[in-house]
A = this chain, B = another copy of it.
Amino acid sequence: MPQLETVDKILDAAELLFAEKGFSETSLRMITSKANVNLAAVNYHFGSKNALIQAVFSRFLGPLSKIMEDTSKEHGWGKDNIPSLEDILKLYMHSLLKIPSSHENGVAVFMRLMGLAYTQSQGHLRLYLEQEYAKTFRLFLELVRLSTPELSTKERFWRTQFTLGSIAFTMSSIQPLAEILENSKDAKANPEEIVDLIVPYMLAGITAPAMDVN
């Protein structure tokens, strides 16, 4: 078994603990003891706890960002080659499954972290994510816009919100909600299955007819 570097051991432990407990609820001592490294190693290698949180996200988002942009380029998507909404959702959702990870459940952990990033109002994290990954996100939004010309701006805006919510929340609360519903049989699903289940849901939701006011 190859000896992991301290930096990677910290990132591995931190990523799991953050996903399980949240950022504020996870102390550096929990992380360093799980990683079997000295407490001071975090501040030595990363500088601060906040910087560690950002590093955890970078390790996921760097590759994901590249995969998503490459996908768009490969298909030549753009103003002159407008993809269907179904293709966009399928390909973007499936690129989530391609994120490399040092352990199984990497996708679930990552999605849970993304959910936490938006829900817990860690100001520094939000700022960091905006600055680093706004480009990728805007590309996705632009493709959605091009592929749904029939929607009003307001409808499209909010339906995109709802869609992001479905993804972030679902992935971020798989365990807890499964407990509530005591429905373990049906609740058990791997990321691949969930992606296949969520795409038609989102597709139908975004392209739904507007409600008759009543």
Task: List residues of chain A with CB under 8 Å of any chain B CB.
Answer: 20-22, 24-25, 115-116, 118-121, 126, 130, 134, 137, 141, 153-155, 157-159, 161-170, 172-173, 176-177, 179-181, 183, 186-187, 189, 194, 196-211, 213
Contact = CB atoms under 8 A, between A and B. Distances in A.
Identical copies of this chain, number? 2
B213 A196 contact: yes
Contacts of A167: 165
Contacts of A164: 169, 177
B119 A173 contact: yes
B173 A162 contact: no
A168 B170 contact: no
A179 B168 CA distance: 18
Most buried by B among A154, A198, A209, A211: A211
Most buried by B among A164, A179, A199: A164
